Structure 1
């Protein structure tokens, strides 16, 4: 299983991806980067060319991975929709705080669309910058 690395743009940010043919291992955002190979579904998603979550497998949803149940629940949030930390917590029989910790530790945002998990009274957080979450939600809510 050879690991590949590459990057593409999402608005003013670079999306860095470490992946193999089988699954995505890491997705991160940075202000700098250099164009490189990424799975076509991620590139299409970042340009708004597809109106769906990239249909890729994440290492974080494997059965024994920490927070796997939370990540699988988040993957069921439809494109263009949101759910609260509390709603995901209830579905997974845990607390909203645990959901927040899982979202902060999500190694594969976009594949596990943590930007769709919002606070009861607002956006909640997003690493490295809340503007990315806002831009992702805005892109998904365009008709």
Structure 2
């Protein structure tokens, strides 16, 4: 199966994705749309379907690096819930700062739902905008 790419809107942003079959290789948030249709699972997820991304896998979770362990722990956070950087660090056998670095470089956000990782005392960060993190968490809290 070949590599496919496309995008769909979410608020003021466009979610760009690159995939082959059920393996997602990249997800980015940009202001402009990409050529090509979005993967149907992303459309269902952004419409509020809690199970839409469950059948997809991410290149980020492959292997046994500390980042792969972190990404697998983040994938285990249920839809509509959050976990702290410290909780993910404990699950992956590392420290919160490393979790923050992994979240910042996550190649497949949404599939590895880094927006569900929050600071002990607040929402934490998110690229491209904290408003998008709030919108994703709000969407999930209504349906989760």
For normalisation by structure 1, the TM-score amounts to: 0.93
Q: Do structure 1's residue 38 and structure 2's residue 38 form an aligned pair?
A: yes
Q: Which runs of 5+ in 1 are unaligned?
A: none
Write the distance in 2 (CA, Å) between the matches of 1:43 and 1:22.
15
Deviation at 1:94, TM superposition (A): 0.5
Q: What RMSD in Å do the two structures reach over aligned CA positions?
A: 1.5
- Residue aligning to 1:86: 86
Distance 1:38 1:66, change over 3 A: farther
Contact 2:16 2:34 in 1 (8 A): no
Alpha-carbon distance in structure 1 between the residues aligned to 2:44 and 2:118: 24
What residue in structure 1 maps to residue 106 of structure 2?
Answer: 106
The alpha-carbon deviation at position 52 of structure 1 amounts to 2.9
Q: Is the 8 A contact 1:60 1:66 kept in 2?
A: no
SS of residue matched to 1:86: helix
Structure 2 unpaired stretches of 5+: none
Whole-angstrom distance in 1 between the partners of 2:73 and 2:123: 18
Tell whether 2:15 aligns with 1:15: yes
Contact 1:23 1:59 in 2 (8 A): yes
Identify the residue that residue 52 of structure 1 maps to in structure 2: 51
Maintained 8 Å contact 1:8/1:36: no
SS at match of 1:67: helix
Match for residue 29 of structure 1?
A: 29
8 A Cα contact 1:104 1:127, kept in partner: yes
How many corresponding residue pairs? 142
Poorly superposed stretches of 4+, deviation over 4 Å: none
Which deviates further from its counterpart, 104-113 or 53-62?
53-62
Q: Residues 72-100 of structure 1, C-alpha deviation per residue, up to 9 Å, x if partnerless?
A: 00000000000000000011111000000
